[in-house]
């Protein structure tokens, strides 16, 4: 398959067309890009993975629909691969900020409609957004924040639903919203949700409940919170932490 791509690229560079309509393009097959590309494949999408490093391209051969080796800061190379015909392109170059920004700028010039770009710092993200990326993600920063909430031992899961104010200046600190999972705080063990008054006291909402070894069910007013049950709680991150710490 990769040979076919390389063959096609060579043909393209000689002036022939190579179509990738409907395919999702992942640029940069490092740890993040390859995980993203493989998950997209698992979800049933067709994926073209591109990397400047022939070793990375070789490793992904046979795993993705198509792979190609190219320096994506070269507009001609991107066009040769038909990247301008794709609806969705994810730029997963992190530490090479110049290559990440330049690649994104070329994709904007090529009028790709749905550009996702990975940023490793807030400044990097701001530049990507200014250049015209439609979505900027911060996998390292988000994972760091998530793990910080988990290592304290109170939360079992922490998922932010909007960017943090450090990543996106348009987000007010009060507008932050997360979904978390934790064991029922001791103070609320054996009470019903209706009687516990959790939303009034902590401004968080218990969304679902799962007994140890059991299944998730939606939380209702008459749901009894078992001391070892796991609950899914939504709200502001500070309120969620305050609730999780209620002994």
* Residue closer to ligand ATP, measured from CB, 124 or 154: 124
Q: Applying CB under 6 A, does 29 fall inside the site for ligand ATP?
A: yes
Q: How far is the CB of 31 from ligand ATP (least distance, A)?
A: 3
Which residue from 53, 113, 152, 162 is in contact with ligand ATP, where contact means CB under 6 A? 53
C-beta nearest to ligand ATP: residue: 94
Number of other residues whose CB lies within 10 A of the CB of residue 14: 8
Q: How far is the CB of 212 from ligand ATP (least distance, A)?
A: 36
Angle at 229 between CA 224 and CA 235, to 5 degrees: 85
Using CA atoms, how far apart are residues 109 and 193, in angstroms rounded to an integer?
A: 54
Helix or strand holding residue 44 (H, E): none
Which residue from 20, 56, 66, 230 is in contact with ligand ATP, where contact means CB under 6 A? 56
Supply the DSSP symbol for 192.
Answer: B
Q: Applying CB under 6 A, does 8 fall inside the site for ligand ATP?
A: no
Site string for ligand ATP, 89-118 (x = CB under 6 A): ---xxxxx--x-------------------
* Residue closer to ligand ATP, measured from CB, 144 or 214: 144
In this structure, are residues 48 and 86 in contact, taking their beta carbons and an 8 Å threshold?
yes
Q: Of 104, 109, 174, whose CA–CA distance to 135 is shortest?
A: 104
* Residue closer to ligand ATP, measured from CB, 34 or 88: 34
Q: How many Cα atoms are found within 13 Å in the side-chain-facing hemisphere of 228?
A: 4
Helices within 61-175 (DSSP H only): 75-80, 97-109, 122-131, 139-151
Q: Applying CB under 6 A, does 165 fall inside the site for ligand ATP?
A: no
Please report, as ranges, the residues that interact with ligand ATP according to CB under 6 A.
27-33, 51-53, 56, 71-73, 92-96, 99, 120
């Amino acid at each position: 398959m990769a040979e076919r791509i390389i063959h096609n690229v060579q043909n393209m560079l000689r002036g022939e067309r190579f179509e990738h309509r409907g395919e999702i393009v992942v640029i940069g097959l490092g740890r993040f890009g390859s995980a993203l590309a493989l998950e997209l494949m698992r979800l049933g999408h067709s994926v073209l993975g591109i990397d400047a490093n022939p070793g990375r391209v070789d490793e992904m051969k046979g795993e993705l629909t198509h792979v190609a080796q190219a320096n994506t800061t070269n507009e001609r190379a991107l066009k040769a691969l038909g990247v301008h015909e794709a609806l969705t392109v994810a730029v997963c170059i992190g530490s090479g900020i110049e290559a990440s920004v330049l690649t994104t700028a070329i994709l904007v010039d090529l009028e790709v409609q749905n550009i996702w770009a990975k940023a490793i710092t807030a400044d990097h993200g701001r530049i990507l957004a200014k250049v015209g990326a439609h979505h900027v993600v911060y996998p390292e920063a988000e994972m760091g924040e998530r793990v910080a909430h988990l290592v304290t031992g109170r939360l079992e899961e922490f998922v932010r639903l909007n960017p943090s104010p450090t990543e996106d200046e348009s987000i007010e600190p009060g507008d932050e919203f997360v979904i978390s999972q934790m064991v029922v705080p001791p103070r609320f063990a054996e009470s019903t949700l209706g009687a516990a008054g959790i939303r009034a006291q902590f401004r968080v909402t218990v969304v679902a409940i799962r007994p140890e070894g059991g299944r998730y069910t939606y939380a209702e007013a008459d749901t009894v919170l078992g001391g070892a049950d796991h609950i899914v709680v939504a709200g502001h991150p500070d309120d969620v932490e305050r609730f999780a710490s209620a002994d």
